[in-house]
């Protein structure tokens, strides 16, 4: 039996004595990582939705009718993806409850998450905040922003299908 002083403290020692606790911690860690990822995505999408509304307002003031429609469509698409991410059931997958998750699925999930974040960054690049000083020229490209958002949505749907077991 391990002694409390050698294992890093009494709490760690007690946790090690509870059968199944380390497995539970691993499950909870995967769930928490998923929550953090979704929270990050939701917060960034909210910021980009605000930016798209700001641009649409500017387009309205300058009577750029074609850009108004694109800006409003982008805002609606961002809102729809944000709602999908918010509505995703937390930890509703056997991937979160397996004692040793499938390495191939874990790799796919991490690649998809990295791709989703890359698409999110590209979306942000095409919706540069005019209020933030930048050394680079301000570029607003609603078409490319929409492409990035569509790629992000596709990856999010793929991620959810993997979590449902539809590999």
Lowest mean pLDDT across 14-18, 31-35, 67-71, 159-163: 14-18
| DSSP codes of every residue in 12-34 | HHHHHHSTTHHHHHHHHHHHHHH
Rounded to whole angstroms, what are the CA distances from 13 to 9, 19, 33, 63? Answer: 6, 12, 25, 68
What is the C-alpha to C-alpha distance for residues 123 and 146, in angstroms, rounded to an integer?
Answer: 8
pLDDT score at 83? 93
Render pLDDT for 32-67 as a digit per residue (tens, 0 to 9): 777 888 899 999 999 999 888 888 887 777 787 787
Question: Is residue 4 pLDDT above 80, yes or no?
Answer: no
**4: helix, strand or coil:** coil
User: Is residue 145 within 8 Å of residue 74, measured between CB atoms?
Assistant: yes
pLDDT score at 13? 66
pLDDT score at 2? 47
Confidence of residue 96 (pLDDT cuts 50, 70, 90): low
Residue at token pair 């937390």: 90
Kindly report each contact of residues 70-76 with a partner whose C-beta sits within 8 Å and lies 24 or more positions away, as own/partner. Answer: 70/142, 70/143, 70/146, 71/142, 73/146, 74/142, 74/145, 74/146, 74/149, 75/49
Query: Which of 127, 117, 148, 118 is CA-nearest to residue 50?
Result: 127
> Taking the model in full, what pTM does it have?
0.68
| DSSP codes of every residue in 129-145 | -TTS--SSPP-B-HHHH
């Amino acid at each position: 039996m391990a002694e409390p002083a050698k294992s890093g403290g009494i709490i760690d020692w007690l946790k090690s004595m509870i059968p199944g606790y380390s497995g539970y911690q691993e499950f909870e860690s995967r769930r928490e990582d998923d929550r953090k990822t979704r929270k990050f995505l939701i917060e960034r999408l909210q910021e980009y939705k605000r930016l798209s509304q700001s641009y649409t307002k500017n387009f309205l003031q300058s009577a750029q009718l074609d850009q108004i429609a694109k800006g409003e469509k982008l805002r609606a698409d961002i809102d729809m993806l944000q709602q999908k991410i918010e509505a995703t059931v937390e930890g509703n997958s056997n991937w979160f409850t397996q004692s040793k998750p499938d390495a191939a699925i874990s790799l796919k999930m991490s690649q998809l998450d990295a791709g989703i974040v890359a698409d999110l960054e590209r979306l942000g690049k095409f919706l540069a905040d005019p209020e933030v000083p930048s050394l680079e020229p301000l570029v607003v490209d609603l078409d490319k922003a929409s492409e990035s958002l569509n790629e992000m949505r596709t990856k999010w749907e793929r991620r959810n299908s993997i979590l449902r077991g539809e590999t």
